[in-house]
Amino acid sequence: MGIVQTLLATIVTLGLLVTIHEWGHFWVARRCGVRVLRFSVGFGKPLWLRKGRDGTEYVVAAIPLGGYVRMLDEREGEVPEALRHQAFNNKPILQRMAIVAAGPVVNLLFAVLAYWFLFVWGVTSVVPVVGSVQSDSLAAQAGLPAGVELLEVDGHSVQSWDEVNLRLAARVGESGTLQLVAGEPKRGLAQSYQARLDQWTVDLEKESPISAFGIRPYRPEVPAIIGSLSEGGVAEASGLRVGDRVVAIDGEPVGDWVELVEVIRSSPHRSLTFEVLREEQAQVLDMTPAERVDDSGQRYGFIGAGVEAVEWPPEMIRDLQYGPVEAAWVGLQKTGQMIGLILDSIGKMIAGAISVKNLSGPITIAKVAGASAASGLESFVSFLAYLSISLGVLNLLPIPMLDGGHLLYQFIELVRGRPVSERVQMLGLRLGMAMLLSLMALAIINDIARL
């Protein structure tokens, strides 16, 4: 994945989500009769500016990490008497609340639309069949056997590993009983399994909830056949070719690709003798894996060879596709589930049940945007939907500087019948700014640590 592709994917992702967010504020403001002075996507120096016939300046600015809608407002400058009725501050409180809430709400509606599109288009997923269960894990304690299909997690039907992962993620940091239903649905067989959670912790930076629970998803057997070679790598230099099947290393049989990788990774700087089949002819090759270091400082061997792709059994692939009406309901449910998961995660992070290391900033967003774009339309639209939900939910938090903070002040005004004093608002602004800058700094530090 190239830097240019990552950069373009990031610009498209942030540009689109910021635009629809600010468009929500803009659209409702115009409907409420508020004069909009500027609609800007991005901050800083304008790269493109056009003034519309409505008198609004439309701007694309240099820093694509946000945007704003500037409205006529007596609190920000002098307003001519003839235009006072078009000023934001002179509108009824409910109209002002609607204008502020419109941005995050449109982000959430966009997510519903994105999921609707995916479910009408069709989502390809892997049937959640258990491949193996790790010993001394929660899955093993529950008695979950290999080979069964997961049907329910905590009373919720699941049809893919993505759904299983989300349901398990919702229980991270909790105690109590986790109930699973698994079996062979084609034969009408199903059984319940229970796992006892005790403030279940998962290092989400290193493993998924599925892996932490002790489940290894089913994967088709992958033979030790070379599918690709890194130019100038050890494997190519030693004479290994695409299509070669490795049958033994140092006289020990190699059963599949996993065994091959394990031997290579455990042998940096150690000479190995490969026995391979090339067009049904036996070949003997000597090579010494190079050494690399992973994120934890562990050294491992590397030869620069990739696996040949294998086809999944048709019965292990599930296409989830719905009609337009049903897809709208499923998309709404999916959005609601993600909203709940984000709010739950924020609460657990505040309580300390989830590490703040899971906060991500612009670098991680850029990497994921690029990777999802490279993976295809389905992955990219799904990422857009999730990020749009995150943007909508976070903006509704009652933190000064965010839309939720403004809504909090306006709600107090609605109840009291008069605005919150400027002194209190300025104090809240300083606290909100300090909080957001601290969170942003922490997210960027986490991003750099991940690099």
Residues 153, 173, single domain; the answer is yes
Residues 265, 234, single domain; the answer is yes
d(CA 50, CA 47): 10
Residues 248, 213, single domain; the answer is no
Query: Is-contact 128 166, C-beta < 8 A?
Result: no
In a domain, 214, yes or no: yes
Q: How many domains are contained in the chain?
A: 2
Residues 197, 248, single domain; the answer is no
Determine which one of 22, 149, 236, 275 is catalytic.
22
**Model confidence over 402-440: pLDDT tens digits?**
899 999 999 999 998 888 888 888 888 888 888 878 877
Average pLDDT of the chain, as a whole number? 87
Percent of the chain with pLDDT over 90: 42
Residues 133, 169, single domain; the answer is yes
Q: What pLDDT, on the 0 to 100 scale, is given for residue 428? A: 84
Q: What pLDDT, on the 0 to 100 scale, is given for residue 375? A: 67
Q: Give the lowest-confidence range in 78-92, 117-131, 268-282, 374-388.
A: 374-388
d(CA 24, CA 17): 11
In a domain, 200, yes or no: yes
CATH number for 234 = 2.30.42.10
What letters, b where the CB count within 10 A reaches 16 and e where it falls short, cover 71-86?
A: bbeeeeeebeeeeeeb
> Cα separations (Å) of 317 from 194, 218, 220, 313, 314?
27, 11, 12, 7, 5
Residues 245, 303, single domain; the answer is yes
In a domain, 5, yes or no: no
Residues 148, 234, single domain; the answer is no
For residue 132 the two structure tokens come to 């193996």
Residues 262, 208, single domain; the answer is no
Residues 213, 230, single domain; the answer is no
Q: 182: domain range?
A: 125-220+316-320
**Model confidence over 154-211: pLDDT tens digits?**
999 999 988 998 899 888 888 899 999 998 877 778 899 999 998 888 877 778 889 9
Whether 18 shows a pLDDT value over 60: the answer reads: yes
pTM: 0.80
Is 22 a residue of the active site?
Answer: yes
In a domain, 247, yes or no: yes
**Model confidence over 76-129: pLDDT tens digits?**
888 888 889 999 989 999 999 999 999 999 999 999 999 999 999 988 888 999
DSSP-assigned states of every residue in 367-421: HHHHHHHHH-HHHHHHHHHHHHHHHHHHHTSS-TTSHHHHHHHHHHHHHHSSPPP
**Model confidence over 325-372: pLDDT tens digits?**
999 999 999 999 999 988 888 888 887 777 766 667 666 666 666 666
